[in-house]
Amino acid sequence: MSNILIVDPKEQSGALLKSILRGKNYGVSVSESFNEAVRKINTGLFDLVCIDSDRPGQEEKAFLADIKEIIPDLPVIAVSEKEEISLSGVELLAKPLSISDFAEAVYTLLKAPVKPETAIKHCEINLPVELKGINGIVPARTLTLSVNGVLVVPDFNQEAAIQKFKSFFAQKTDKIATTIKLKGDQFLKLQSRLTFADNTPGEKVKNAGLSFLKVSEANQKALEDLVSPAA
């Protein structure tokens, strides 16, 4: 499942885009500010960014430049009333938005080939993970893993597990001890912090995007091996 970030600072058509994408079984997260969006992009968990802005100005252009600096090949769609945006690598869709054109653009960009050296270093992977913080300990599972962060969901799709997962993230915690179980008796022990939490398409379960903190060289190598195509 591809993860898509919608950036909707003026709260315009973000809800519509979110509905369209979830209907296509994409994972969706919405940001209402550019700063929040940059923090999410830095996790390395997203496959595409969609920006909704009537008339992109300097702030929007600076944000687009930030995206290209963080992940050069991250596809970007801009939904705008303006005819063009002077930045390469941006797919422009004019308002009023055609739902079919939007869905086709998303599909095409996600399937487009990228250079291995600039490709997004993340993958879908299902591994057990233990999260430990000031709110206790909660079991979870990985949904998407990158070299910079991980998207986690409740360990079981049961009400008790879901509530425990939600309670863990209900209060702010600066550091989360994140232990990912690998093959056999191997573990990957990392420190992380919560970057975002969103509802899944079923609107019942929260997922959480965590950013890794001060990753050691050994753990960095282990993460790169996990998310590489040969892993």
225 or 159, which is more confident: 225
Amino acid at 205: V
pLDDT at 146: 94
Mean pLDDT taken over the chain: 85
For residue 139, what are the CA distances in angstroms to 48, 128, 159, 162, 163? 29, 7, 14, 10, 12
- Residue that is last in its domain, among 86, 118, 150: 118
Both structure tokens of 106: 């998303």
172 or 88, which is more confident: 172
State the Cα–Cα distance between residues 3 and 13, nearest whole angstrom: 18
pLDDT at 231: 47
CATH number at residue 154: 2.40.10.220
Q: Do residue 222 and residue 133 come from a single domain? A: yes
pLDDT at 72: 82
The owner of tokens 């801009």 is 78
Measuring CA to CA, which residue among 170, 172, 171, 168 is closest to residue 155?
A: 168
Across 27-31, 85-89, 190-194, which has the greatest mean pLDDT? 190-194
Average pLDDT of the residues in 133-157: 91
pLDDT above 70: residue 214: yes
Our count of domains for the chain comes to 2
Q: Do residue 191 and residue 111 come from a single domain? A: no
State the Cα–Cα distance between residues 80 and 118, nearest whole angstrom: 27
CATH number at residue 55: 3.40.50.2300
Single pTM value for the model? 0.85
State the Cα–Cα distance between residues 17 and 79, nearest whole angstrom: 10
pLDDT above 80: residue 79: yes
Q: Do residue 183 and residue 213 come from a single domain? A: yes
36 or 68, which is more confident: 36
User: Hey, which bits of the chain come out as E strands?
Assistant: 3-7, 27-31, 48-52, 76-80, 90-94, 122-124, 128-133, 136-146, 149-154, 176-181, 187-199, 206-213
Q: Do residue 17 and residue 104 come from a single domain? A: yes
Q: Residue 111 belongs to what domain range?
A: 3-118
Q: Do residue 50 and residue 139 come from a single domain? A: no
Q: Do residue 132 and residue 80 come from a single domain? A: no
Both structure tokens of 156: 């079981």
Q: Give the three-class secondary structure for 104.
A: helix
Q: pLDDT band for 108, please (50, 70, 90 cuts).
A: very high
Are 37 and 195 a contacting pair, CB within 8 Å? no
pLDDT tens for 34-49 read 999 999 999 999 999 9
Q: Do residue 92 and residue 132 come from a single domain? A: no
